[in-house]
Amino acid sequence: MILICILCFCNAKTKFSDRDVATMIPKYFARDHNSPPITRTRIYGENGKKVLHLNIQVNRNRYENELEYALSAMASVCQYAEMPFDKFVLIMEPTSRQIDTERLEAKAKCTIDYFVFKRVKYNRWLTKCITTEKI
């Protein structure tokens, strides 16, 4: 019985506080030189839901890649949070004036299932999990 408890304890995921998650996000972006610059990181509650909010600067040429990279980073880090997140908010601020600023909202569990666990297909994730609007 003791051996089983030790094995379960060794396989348990480490859980991080909101402050730890907020400090880990910029470090995650810093390790990849192709990642978009982060201008703001926030964690807050909205209508009883826990939200991770990021503002990033996007380049017109790599817009889609930067969007997916940011959501993947949010999902990868937030899967280890003590209290699970309900929603991810991503504000994409363009570096050129020809593109509008966009706000993307994603359901956290569904996004983690898509990027981390590969349990959700791309089309389902695109239609059921995210909403985008121009600001």
Per-residue model confidence as pLDDT tens digits over 55-82:
999 887 777 788 899 999 999 999 888 8
Residue 128 confidence class, pLDDT cut points 50, 70, 90: very high
Asked if residue 110 belongs to a domain, the reply is: yes
Q: What's the confidence (pLDDT) of residue 109? A: 95
CATH number of the domain that 119 lies in? 3.30.300
Domain hosting 21: range is 15-134
Q: Does residue 43 form part of some domain? A: yes
Question: Could you count the other beta carbons within 10 Å of the beta carbon of residue 122?
Answer: 8
> What burial class does residue 112 get, using C-beta atoms within 10 Å of its C-beta: 0-12 exposed, 13-18 middle, 19+ buried?
buried
Task: Give the pLDDT of residue 135.
Answer: 85
For residue 119, which phi and psi values (nearest 5 degrees)?
Answer: -90, -15
In a domain, 118, yes or no: yes
Q: Which range (8-17, 47-56, 70-79, 95-104) has the least confidence? A: 8-17
How far is C-alpha 18 from the geometric centre of its chain's CA atoms? 13
In a domain, 45, yes or no: yes
Q: Kindly state whether residue 37 falls inside one of the protein's structural domains.
A: yes
- Compute how many other C-beta atoms are within 10 angstroms of the C-beta atom of residue 100: 10
What is the pLDDT, as a whole number, of residue 110? 94
Is position 9 within any domain? no
pLDDT interval class at 112 (50, 70, 90): very high
1 domain-assigned = no
123 in a structural domain: yes
Q: Long-range CB contacts (< 8 A, 24+ apart) of 72-77?
A: 72/115, 73/25, 73/28, 73/29, 73/35, 74/25, 74/108, 74/111, 75/108, 75/111, 75/112, 75/114, 75/115, 75/116, 76/28, 76/115, 76/116, 77/21, 77/24, 77/25, 77/28
Helix (H) / strand (E) containing 129: none
The 3-state DSSP class for residue 87 equals strand
Structure tokens given for 98: 């020809």
Tally the domains of the chain.
1
Note the pTM of the prediction, 2 decimals.
Answer: 0.84
Task: Please give the average per-residue pLDDT across 78-99, as a whole number.
Answer: 89
